[in-house]
Chains A and B, each alone.
Chain A
């Protein structure tokens, strides 16, 4: 069982590695070739150095002993010089190109992430598991993990392994004794690394949670809102103590873990140096035996050093790889999630506008990971040109119903039909062309005023006249007078101008209005607006609905008197449906909602 799990994991890792590698070459092919050049050159250079230096030193030794050939000395010296300088230049140029390539790939990966987001069905945004996956994927990307995987694996194979092999061959040429020595110098280090175990990663995971909590508590002292409240409440001493406790806890654990880590590193390094020392001693013995000459001895000292760092590099990189591949796997897991069908793929029926009616046929819906039905057995009809108000307490399913109506959430049971045809089968662009919405939690785009309005009909982005018209009819003339006019950026996030909550709300209305639609869903804002602005906005809703089929979601019972039909929702179901007077006469949920509000305004 565990064995087959392991095997699967291995296959998965190979699979992930393959994709990472493919993307590496695909996203920046030139830079990728240079990566290879860099590593291969780096892999061969130490062996070449060892050969030239051995000859150079040997010649130098002979000359000092009164023999030797000065021409040879100059030859080997120049050869080494040329190789050294050329290698430096090569490293410089290839690293520049590699760096630019890494940047290009990083942008491409992020772009793919955004593109993925843009193709995800709306329902997945409600799914906290998917949200977690997305956040994990983004976090890993942020650290540049994809490039690191490929670079460290290529470095391992080409640079470090080549170093190891070529140096071993060169050294073996001088004396076969060096071969076992190479191994002996490398082995202790490898063993020590392996002994360190996997406990480390587990601790790291556990720590991440504690650190998050510590960071949260710290944040309570630095955020305006919490500072204000905690000071006035006098609870900051309590939180401070909690933070201190949590900090000490994190600190102690971190210290324990680091100490263990450092001690095992000590072991590794001590073994490494002992291996190095053994090499030098052996080389010395061989030199004194006259098995090798003094030049080779000099070159060997340098070669051993390279060998040591190559091994160290190999083991460190190799050790990190599985964890990094697991992280990269998180990214691909997200990228592979099913997407919304594109227009071409869906092969949908072209939608030519509403001529008959919208029908909700016994629809039910549950949010992902939830047991409770948010919408349950809802059935009613909306005829062309009708205005419907949906009423109900918070959490009764009003906004969810509107998303089902627009085909943005899939029904679990039942169907939404337009002109008798199922909404999800329509060709999406042709369907959404005819609808518009003003969302409850509308978005404040920190973008130019122009884009804030034309977002709903991006083809008219440069139609200044139309945009100005929409602004005027939403009562936003004052925004046009600001510097920059339509191109004035809104919101202070990127240095744009600050506007009030009421103005943002009106912009959302102007946006909904800007899109020419025959069916509109308007959701009353939850944010607190003063009564005068609120009235202005609700009046606008009524006005907007005039020549359209419309759904207005509101808490205001008064508004319901002006619509053709009222649907009252309770716990996801339709409790009542009908006209204002009919519903009042029934003395049910509508009457309850109505009196709850109305009694406060009644003049006694």
Chain B
């Protein structure tokens, strides 16, 4: 924990040096405010006593009064400068450090994003790790400066007597400890509430979801969900109240130790004052010590609070550390001049693949070949490994064994930046970006971001008719992030995603379920587009609508991660097997003649 706390200070120092140094100095100075004001109050009150007696001059009083007011002015202003320094630290940190985190995200090996453990770490790290580090740093220095303040108070107390300071020290330990434990217990309780809270959030989200609400209303199950919510909340509350009351014992101990300290201060002050031989306890010390009883309570709370926060922050920092040590994509080493591969010749050679941390092979010796300019349909049941092949082709994963060749070069030898130019992909779970329509399309080929004609043409070929009807312009904001943004339907987003690939120059196109959100008529039109636009380009199309397969030069049938059949539509239909089964099952819903219910 100590190491982490020190490291957080080091990290902040690294990314925001000047404001941090400034902050540290101010914090250090500030920690003397409380002890010095006790000291000056004592001196001032005493000097008044002496002045009235005629022992000293008025200048003595003025000196102490000025010092007392000065220390307060300085501390109030240092609070302000501290605030400014803090904002400045924030600013510098945001500028220098968030980029570092985001760069790490960018370099992260893609497999991390599909690893549940990593996802869990990312979720717990939160979206603003730089703030967590900042909090850790802040709490660390706040704990330290309060501690210095408490120490300096002890020095002031040695004025009274050494044993007074010693007792102060002895009592300070349990005061801080019990306070820390009581805060920590509450923190722990809060952590136990998290899973319960997530469940309740899920149920209320169900009630707020229009699709779920349709079902629940029809089924009359709204009340059931509501009562389930109530039950989870009530069960937890009962437990919470019990635990909270039980854990409050530390709080009681804390109050008791504070009371002991108050008893000690008041009794020793009265005793010291009445004891004629004791010159140390004069009226000034008497006033200063008694009025400072409450100040110690405050300081101890601040310190224990900061300390318990430090331990909590350290726990959370663990996630950041794990994140920073996650594997990264090997940097691109471009050895050869870039030569765009227009019509790649792709070979899958006995490829085996399983996702990291799983033992089930998704690909079991997949072997196939795609010739330059060939249009290929990849078909198979759900889970046969179709989308995995796409991910391997894009270089997001590497095969466990076997190899993939593009124009006779192993895919491992091709730098990521070059591979990107070979393929243009619409994934099954394609994204719509809440940016302008122009940007959405230009992501397919960022060099054409200002080429209005090309973008319009891509959209036209992608069948987004809203451009022609002028319901949308290419600079319309999409999504709900902006007030004037237009939210598209699933089918419209899909058309945008397809347009994206059509913008890329001559790349080999991979379409994973490009028509899933389209109705049959739109789907039919989309096939016609593919036929004309992609005529001279190679492509791989994955679709459950097998009509698309008929258009392909070659159909590759995948079953359990291996290629079981290859051929044209008519070849496969005459062969029999999985493809024919699937095709007949589906065509029965479209074609006239034959008994429709006989295909289940």
Contacts and interface: CB of A to CB of B under 8 A. Distances in A.
Interface stretch (B66-74, B344-352, B359-367): B66-74
Contacts of B251: 92, 96
Nearest to B108: A227
A601 B283 contact: no
Contact of A526 (B200, B500, B517): B517
Main secondary structure on A side of the interface with B: helix
A123 to B, nearest CB: 10
B433 A458 contact: no
Nearest to A440: B211
A113 interface: yes
Nearest to A119: B222
Given A288-B61, A529-B382, A73 B266 contact: no
Contact of B221 (A81, A455, A538, A599): A455
Interface in A51-101: 53, 56-57, 60-61, 63-65, 70, 73-74, 77-78, 80-81, 84-85, 88-89, 92, 96, 99-100
Interface stretch (B4-12, B404-412, B415-423): B415-423
Counting chain A CB atoms within 10 Å of each CB, the highest count among B113, B282, B439 belongs to: B113
Given A60-B286, A81-B262, A530 B527 contact: no
A318 B477 CA distance: 40
A433 B221 CA distance: 11
B94 A458 contact: no
Contacts of B457: none
A526 B283 contact: no
Nearest to B383: A500
B143 interface: no
Contact of A64 (B49, B223, B489): B49
A163 interface: no
B221 A600 contact: no
B564 to A, nearest CB: 15
A409 B545 CA distance: 33
B506 interface: no
Contact of A456 (B52, B206, B221): B221
A491 B47 CA distance: 76
Interface residues of A, number: 157
Contact of A262 (B80, B219, B590): B80
B124 interface: no
B229 A443 contact: no
Given A80-B290, A436-B218, A439-B211, A227 B198 contact: no
B57 interface: no
A357 interface: no
Interface stretch (B162-170, B369-377, B578-586): B578-586
A231 B547 CA distance: 31
A220 interface: yes
Interface string A488-510: 00001110000011100000000
B237 A104 contact: yes
B226 A118 contact: yes
Main secondary structure on B side of the interface with A: helix
A535 B444 contact: no
A408 B267 CA distance: 77
B113 A115 contact: no
A532 B381 contact: yes
Interface in A366-403: 392-395, 403
Counting chain A CB atoms within 10 Å of each CB, the highest count among B106, B444, B491, B516 belongs to: B106
B4 to A, nearest CB: 23
B225 A118 contact: yes
Interface string B78-110: 011001100110110011001100100110101
B122 A406 contact: no
B518 interface: yes
Contact of B229 (A70, A92, A114, A134): A114
A247 B283 contact: no
A531 B273 contact: no
Contact of A255 (B91, B255, B423): B91
B277 interface: no
A403 B211 CA distance: 11
B220 A215 contact: no
A284 B108 CA distance: 67
Contact of A240 (B106, B423, B548): B106
Given A114-B203, A247-B94, A531-B582, A221 B217 contact: no
A111 B230 contact: yes
B522 interface: yes
Interface in B251-287: 251-252, 255, 258-259, 262-263, 266-267, 269-270, 273-274, 282-283, 286-287
Nearest to A437: B218
Q: Which 9 A-B pairs have the closest CB atoms?
A: A600-B547, A558-B589, A125-B210, A601-B587, A298-B287, A235-B443, A556-B589, A441-B211, A531-B586
30 contacts: A61-B49, A63-B274, A92-B251, A110-B233, A118-B207, A118-B223, A213-B481, A215-B127, A229-B430, A229-B443, A233-B425, A247-B98, A262-B87, A266-B77, A276-B69, A281-B65, A284-B48, A294-B49, A301-B41, A301-B291, A432-B219, A432-B220, A439-B211, A493-B202, A528-B544, A535-B589, A539-B597, A559-B596, A597-B590, A600-B527
Given A228-B427, A254-B91, A594-B590, 5 more contacts: A251-B94, A270-B73, A408-B214, A456-B221, A533-B381
